[in-house]
Amino acid sequence: MSEILLETQHIQKYFPIKTNSFKKSYVQAVEDISIQIKKGETLGLVGESGCGKSTLGRSILRLIEPTSGRVFYNGKDITKEKMLPYRRKMQIIFQDPSASLDPRMTVGEIVGEAIDIHKLANSKKDRTDYIRNILNQVGLNSEHANRYPHEFSGGQQQRIGIARALSVKPEFIVCDEPISALDVSIQSQIVNMLEDMQKDLGLTYLFIAHDISVVKHISNRIGVMYLGTMVELAESYELNRNPLHPYTQTLLSAVPVPDPKKSRERKRIMLTGEIPSPINPPTGCRFHTRCPYAKPICSEQIPEYKEVSPEHYCACHIV
């Protein structure tokens, strides 16, 4: 698992917005993020809604073009490359399956579309068998191929989305909050299925979620984002045992504990103030307006994102 499959260098994504003034304004969705994802691992990405997690995932796949920065796949810079050959290798599972599946297409047509584009089947029979095998792989029956997405439950629709991603035999999958729209009982089924497929097919995941307890379960390493920036990145166990950044400590303090006695003994860290606007983010550290430990330097200088201990990175002046 030491070989780097995917790497980003200083990725930025700004969205232009219309204002009443002549001055151009931008939503600074992703700001200077550099990560490496090793073959066969799961890198979890957590943070509150609107922090830029999904934008980063889509920028990596170039579903939206990054404003600046570079993306490397297997050591090759693909920032300016035509993406069709890489669509086979890099896929995405979307957050809302009911919105990402075409309601006018049957399940067989949805899964088979990518098979046709990349010419993965030699005959009509091969194509039909291929689709049936993929549906069985994600826990659906072969007769489901003739039905439409609205005839399925949310969990089954997400399985269809996973089948579509698997149809081209990818190496890397961006899981963009694949369980946030599902019931808790269904969530565990989907997470377990993703883990089993990773072992069987040798997949590499970027797993995006806002529930750090789920990310802890599935991920080898976890990155924490706040307002478009990466504030901490470490091995999963290390991050949960020894969180360094105040924002990471806040997220972990909010995770429910099943033991009532331990729950009463825990100290919950409560943040004050509103989340700053990504149109006009704070100077210095973007978290300083809500940080309980903020010092004058936090509002003046952007903290350096550095390796504090082996494989444990953090961007904080007080660490």
Same domain, 234 and 309: yes
Burial (CB < 10 A; 0-12, 13-18, 19+), residue 58, is buried
Per the domain annotation, does 96 fall within a domain?
no
Same domain, 229 and 124: no
User: Between 307 and 181, whose confidence is greater?
Assistant: 307
Q: Which of 167, 200, 224 is the last residue of a domain?
A: 167
Per the domain annotation, does 95 fall within a domain?
no
pLDDT of residue 2: 59
Q: Which of 167, 195, 224 is the last residue of a domain?
A: 167
Per the domain annotation, does 184 fall within a domain?
yes
* Residue 229 reports pLDDT greater than 80: yes
Q: Which of 133, 167, 201 is the last residue of a domain?
A: 167
CATH of the domain at 209: 3.40.50.300
Question: How many domains is the chain partitioned into structurally?
Answer: 2
Per the domain annotation, does 131 fall within a domain?
yes
Same domain, 185 and 70: yes
* Contact status, residue 52 vs residue 225, Cβ threshold 8 Å: yes
| Spatial separation of the C-alpha atoms in residues 141 and 271, rounded to whole Å | 47
User: Between 70 and 213, whose confidence is greater?
Assistant: 70
* Residue 163 reports pLDDT greater than 90: yes
Per the domain annotation, does 251 fall within a domain?
yes
> CA separation (Å) from 306 to 14, 132, 244, 309, 315?
24, 48, 12, 9, 6
* Contact status, residue 154 vs residue 183, Cβ threshold 8 Å: yes
Same domain, 57 and 179: yes
* Residue 1 reports pLDDT greater than 60: no
Same domain, 286 and 264: yes
Sheet holding 312-315, edge to edge: 90-93, 172-176, 204-208, 42-46, 221-226, 229-235, 312-315, 305-309
Same domain, 41 and 177: yes
- H or E stretch including 223? strand 221-226
* Contact status, residue 304 vs residue 315, Cβ threshold 8 Å: yes
Task: Check residue 276 and report its DSSP letter.
Answer: P
Same domain, 72 and 107: no
Burial (CB < 10 A; 0-12, 13-18, 19+), residue 64, is middle
Per the domain annotation, does 157 fall within a domain?
yes
Same domain, 157 and 107: yes
Give the residue numbers spanning the domain of 213: 4-89+170-315
For the segment 216-240, the average pLDDT, to the nearest whole number, is: 92
Same domain, 249 and 266: yes
∠ Cα 158 164 169 (to 5°) = 130
Per the domain annotation, does 13 fall within a domain?
yes
Place 246 in a pLDDT band, splitting at 50, 70 and 90: very high
Same domain, 290 and 197: yes
For the segment 145-152, the average pLDDT, to the nearest whole number, is: 92
For the segment 274-290, the average pLDDT, to the nearest whole number, is: 88
SS3 content of the chain, % helix, strand, coil (to 5): 35, 25, 40
For the segment 62-68, the average pLDDT, to the nearest whole number, is: 93
Same domain, 186 and 85: yes
Place 37 in a pLDDT band, splitting at 50, 70 and 90: very high
Same domain, 81 and 109: no
Report how far apart the first and last C-alpha atoms of the chain are (Å, whole number): 29
Q: What is the mean pLDDT of the chain?
A: 89
Place 260 in a pLDDT band, splitting at 50, 70 and 90: confident
